[in-house]
Amino acid sequence: MSAKKPRIAHAFAGITMPTSSHPAIRRVKRRDVHPSIHGNKLWKSSCLLMNYLQQHPPQHCNAVIDVGCGWGISGIWCAQNLQADVTSVDADPNVYPYLDAVAQLNGVTTTPLVSKFEQLSLSQLAKFDMLIAADICFWDELAEPVSKLVDRAVEAGVKRILIADPQRAPFFVVADHCVEAHGAELIDWQVESDTIKAQGALLLIEND
């Protein structure tokens, strides 16, 4: 009996999401490029975010900033399906060869920006209609910079802010702050397809 071959990609929401076994990803690994801040794979909360946007298309999405982007699948989805100009932000420059490989598989490009959350200024954020993020509250110490990032994005006039998370404790610290300070909505969300199962929560701010 032959061994089952590892899946090299998932198809979800019209996007090709490669696994670590995909030839395009393996080519990047052979270049000895190793992300250091958990940007080593596609995280399932991105599927929550993409599925929500698919069901609730945003009115303001010409310019999108994808913060803590990792391999960038959420921003890539926005570039492909919303025809958005996407800026992909991560503190780790080593994620971008992987992001470029995923973007190329999906026939789009995004603009890279190496930056920590706290380095994104009001003037930078003011250029965007929508801020998206997935799985960015994985450490307790991230709750404060993420909360302050949302504060600046609201002040800068970003029209829609959408953050997806598998319901980690630091995410709820951010959510509590955003509900109180900005009237954010907290939405339980799950997706199930032939290849992807994910559940968690979405934090949504409409800043019209």
Q: Specify if 101 maps to a domain.
A: yes
Q: Specify if 2 maps to a domain.
A: no
Q: For residues 33 and 28, give the distance between their C-alpha atoms in angstroms, rounded to a whole number.
A: 6
Sheet of strand 197-206: strand arrangement? 111-114, 85-90, 63-67, 130-134, 160-165, 197-206, 185-192
Sign of CA dihedral 168, 154, 67, 143: negative
For residue 75, give its domain range.
9-206
Q: Distance of CA 28 to CAs 17, 69, 95, 96, 123, Å? A: 15, 17, 10, 10, 34
Q: With bands split at pLDDT 50, 70 and 90, how would you rate the model's confidence at 68?
A: very high
Q: Specify if 139 maps to a domain.
A: yes
pLDDT, tens digit (0-9, with 9 covering 90-100), for 150-207? 999 999 999 999 999 999 999 999 999 999 999 999 999 999 887 788 999 999 999 9
CATH assignment at residue 29: 3.40.50.150
Count how many domains the chain has: 1
DSSP 4-71: PPPP-EEEETTEEEE-TTSHHHHHHHHTT---SSS-SS--THHHHHHHHHHHS--S--SEEEEET-TT
Q: With bands split at pLDDT 50, 70 and 90, how would you rate the model's confidence at 19?
A: confident
Percentage above 70 pLDDT, the chain = 94
Q: Specify if 75 maps to a domain.
A: yes
